[in-house]
Amino acid sequence: MGTTTGGQSVKFMDWTSTTDTTGTLWKSINGTGDISLTGLHKLADGTLVATGGKEYVNCQWKTLGDANGDGYVFKVSPQNANGTFNFEVDRAANCGLQVLKGTLN
Burial of 80 (0-12, 13-18, 19+ CB in 10 A): exposed
Amino acid type, 64? L
**Summary mean pLDDT of the chain:** 89
Contact predicate 2/103, CB 8 Å = yes
Q: Domain extents for the chain?
A: 2-80
pLDDT in tens, 67-85: 888 999 999 999 999 999 9
pTM across the whole model = 0.88
Q: How far apart are CA 35 and CA 19, in angstroms?
A: 19
